[in-house]
Chain A
Amino acid sequence: MRFYLVDRILELQPPGRIVAVKSLSLAEEYLADHFPAYPVLPGVMMLEALVQTAAWLVRVQTDFEKSLVLLREAQNVRYGNFVRPGGQLVMEVEAIEIGAGVSRFKAVGQCDGQQAVQAKLTLEHFNIGDEDPLRANLDAGLRTLLRERFRLVRGPQALAAQARS
């Protein structure tokens, strides 16, 4: 399994808003444990999907300036309906503020129009070089990789659609 929790960006309105999707498939092996005979997207994976969605907004807004974007704090994460294989979690994230090194968001995930998860998030952004000067050379490569992945999740299309509307 790969730790990518955003499959496609649907809407992108920097600096304030992003809508993305995580599609859930039975092919994701960890589902065999969660739960046997009753596979559902684990709550923390819903949270990670919200975090990664917010992270894309940070990256676009700051032009991928910092290569690492990580959850620093989550508040009032509440769960509702489950997301089952074949279903999609639609994540809607609104930025409260995006700073140079820290950002805050309100985030909601829905499945079939029903609320599955909601949370308040604080993210931190930094470069590898900030934490480990000896490996600062990794930042450039990671940034390139992330820009590629942004293309993969149809980020530019979402941006263009927003520009047209």
Chain B
Amino acid sequence: MALSRDEIMEKVREALVDALGVDEDEVVPTARIGPDLGAESIDYLDIVFRLEKAFNIKIPRGDLFPDNILTSEEFVQNKKLTEKGVAELRARMPHADLSKFEQNPNVDDIADLFTVNMIVGYVESKLSGAAA
């Protein structure tokens, strides 16, 4: 039985409230997990485990939060993503809005891409592709 986007948002919100200790009303669709909701590095993994449990899905490392792009010289030079890096990011995060980011792809700004909306979109596509 497929979940509606609202139902997904509700469960994502619950996972973020539990993992980050924020209030429910702070978890708006455009909120950024890091800069707005205060997530630190260990929190990203906490969020992954909770989403896996809530939706009964498997989230392989780097699938939701592609941290491994940042450690590759092929993708990052002088604290900016290379063209290849941006392309890789786009492929790995089809639910993120890269339009602003790619104009000035600073590594430090990657956190802006991890929004509640991005997570909801990721879960949606995992659930609809679940048969695969």
Show the binding face of A for B, using Cβ within 8 Å: 75-76, 78, 120
A75 to B46, CA, bound (A): 14
Q: Is the interface of B mostly helix, strand, loop or mixed?
A: helix
Q: Please give me the 4 A-B residue pairs with the lowest Cβ-Cβ distance, nearest first.
A: A76-B21, A75-B21, A78-B40, A120-B21
- B5-31: CB near A (< 8 Å → 1, else 0) gives 000000000000000110000000000
A-B pairs with beta carbons under 8 A, tally: 7
A76 to B80, CA, bound (A): 32
Which bracket fits the contact residues of B?
under 10
Q: Does B42 contact A (CB under 8 A)?
A: yes
7 A-B Cβ contacts within 8 A?
A75-B21, A76-B20, A76-B21, A78-B40, A78-B42, A78-B43, A120-B21
Q: Taking CB as reference atom, which chain A residue is nearest B42?
A: A78
Q: Taking CB as reference atom, which chain A residue is nearest B38?
A: A76
Nearest chain B CB to A5's CB is how many angstroms away? 23
A78 to B46, CA, bound (A): 12
